[in-house]
């Protein structure tokens, strides 16, 4: 399937609505797209509407992280130039917007915003866009927390983190192997 102009029209936990302009009046294209997205883990139902050119993915909110990992892969592979934004991306965007607002009204705020942007740009250039300032700050806070808590914890922090990592790895890679048939979600056509 060639790349399409897929747009996330609305997204809430348990539901993602995509608009596909080429899908208006084209139920066959919407069926093909729904089949591609139907193999995503956690999807319970897919609703296609050829009248509006939209597809609604209903998924199990208990499998949100697993769903979004596969969804982003499918979304990028089938038509979008960038991944859909998450709550963290939206929060970061709001913080950036607020910083720009403050910077327009204060020279001190402008100096701080420009400095942070320069540091972020330098980190991105040095790591070939793999890491940005948000990641550096998060890793720094995690490191500081591990050092502070690790000194007083009854169980060594590395043991707790290893158990946590192993648990999540096992949850993300359920038994059944690659040879198991993928579960396809039910497709409902409306309109």
Q: Residue 128: left if φ>0, alpha if ψ -120 to 50, beta else—which one?
A: left
Instruction: Give the pLDDT band of residue 1 (cuts 50, 70, 90).
Output: very low
* pTM score, whole prediction: 0.44
- For the chain, which residues make up each domain, given as ranges? 7-84, 87-172
- pLDDT-derived band at 81 (thresholds 50, 70, 90) equals very low
Highest mean pLDDT among 5-19, 63-77, 86-100, 166-180: 5-19
Do the Cβ atoms of 57 and 19 come closer than 8 Å?
no
Domain 7-84 CATH assignment equals 3.30.1490.20: no
Q: What is the largest CA-CA distance in the chain?
A: 64
| pLDDT at 118 exceeding the cut of 60 | yes
């Amino acid at each position: 399937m060639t790349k399409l102009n897929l747009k996330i029209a609305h997204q809430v936990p348990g539901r993602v609505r995509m608009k596909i302009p080429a899908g208006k009046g084209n139920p066959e294209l919407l069926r093909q797209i729904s089949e591609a997205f139907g193999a995503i883990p956690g999807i319970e139902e897919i609703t296609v509407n050829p009248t509006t050119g939209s597809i609604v993915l209903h998924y199990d909110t208990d499998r949100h992280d697993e769903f979004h990992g596969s969804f982003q892969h499918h979304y990028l592979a089938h038509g979008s130039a960038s991944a859909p934004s998450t709550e963290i991306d939206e929060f970061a965007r709001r913080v950036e917007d607020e910083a720009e607002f403050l910077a327009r009204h204060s020279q001190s705020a402008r100096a701080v915003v420009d400095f942070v942007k320069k540091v972020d740009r330098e980190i991105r250039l040095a790591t070939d866009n793999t890491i940005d300032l948000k990641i550096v700050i998060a890793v720094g806070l995690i490191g500081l927390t591990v050092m502070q808590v690790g000194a007083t914890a009854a169980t060594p922090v590395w043991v707790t983190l290893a158990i946590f990592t192993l648990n999540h790895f096992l949850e993300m890679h359920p038994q059944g192997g690659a040879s198991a048939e993928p579960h396809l979600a039910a497709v409902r056509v409306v309109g």
